Amino acid sequence: MEYMHAYASPLGGITLASDGEALTGLWFDGQKYFGSGLSAAREERDLPVFAETIRWLDIYFSGREPDFLPPLRARGTPFQEMVWEILRAIPYGRTRTYGEIAAQIAQQTGRPRMSAQAVGSAVGRNPISLLIPCHRVVGANGSLTGYAGGVEKKRRLLLLEGVAPETFFVPQRGTAL
C-alpha cells in the first residue's frame, strides 16, 4: 500500500508519497513523470513521514536550509540511484552541471566517459524532487534545462536558495547539457 498527502507550496501544489515508513515521492502537481512508479493501491493518509517532510518544506520555502531530511526511499535503476546520490551531495545554494556529474560517474565506475544526456535522463526521473535536489543541476553554460517541474520553478527554487541570477539563464531553444 502506498500513501499520499497534499502540500500547498508557494510554487503550487505538491503531492507526497510514502510506503508508510519513508518518503518515496515528491512531485509538483502535473509535472513530467508525476507519480511514476506508484501502484494503483494508494490512499490519502497522515503519517509521521509526511509531517516531517512538511516541516522540511516549510523551512525550505521560508528561505532557510533545513538541517535534517526525513527518511527517503527513491527507487530506480542502479544508474539512476547513483545519479540521485550525487544530487543529494550538491550543497544548498550551489549548482553542478550535467557534465560534471557525468564525469564523476565515469570516474566512480572506471569508464573513460559518461554521457551528460544519460545523466539528464536520470535527473529528470528523480522521484523525490527538492529533497533530492535535481533543480541544482544546470547545463554546461548555466542554462536551466531539464527540470520536470518546469524551468520557471527551477529558476525560482535557485533564487530562493540564493543562487546569483547572473550565473544561470533560461535558454530560448535547444538544450545545453
Q: Does 134 qualify as catalytic in the annotation?
A: yes
**Could you tell me if 137 and 98 are in contact, meaning their C-beta atoms sit under 8 angstroms apart?**
yes
* Residue for grid cell 503519517: 47
Distance CA 174, CA 149 (A): 18
pLDDT of 168 > 70? The answer is yes
Sign of dihedral through CA atoms 20, 84, 177, 12? positive
Q: What is the pLDDT of residues 18-61, one digit of tens each?
A: 999 999 999 998 876 666 666 666 678 899 999 999 999 999 99
Name the more confident of 143 and 56: 56
Which of 123, 118, 121, 144 lies closest to 133, judged by CA? Answer: 123
Q: What is the pLDDT of residues 64-84, one digit of tens each?
A: 999 999 999 999 999 999 999
Catalytic residue, chosen from 134, 158, 163, 176, is: 134
Percent pLDDT > 70 in the chain is 91
User: 50: phi > 0 → left, psi -120 to 50 → alpha, else beta; which?
Assistant: alpha
DSSP type of residue 91: P
Name the more confident of 92 and 124: 92
Q: What is the DSSP string of 117-140?
A: HHHHHHHHT-SBTTTS-GGGEE-T
**Could you tell me if 3 and 44 are in contact, meaning their C-beta atoms sit under 8 angstroms apart?**
yes
Q: What is the pLDDT of residues 82-112, one digit of tens each?
A: 999 999 999 999 999 999 999 999 999 999 9
Which of 99, 103, 108 lies closest to 137, judged by CA? Answer: 99
Rounded-to-10 torsion of CA 151, 155, 160, 165: 170
Residues 6+ apart with CB under 8 A from 83: 101, 105, 119, 122, 123
Residues 6+ apart with CB under 8 A from 75: 24, 37, 81, 127
3-class SS shares of the chain: helix, strand, coil, % to 5: 35, 20, 45
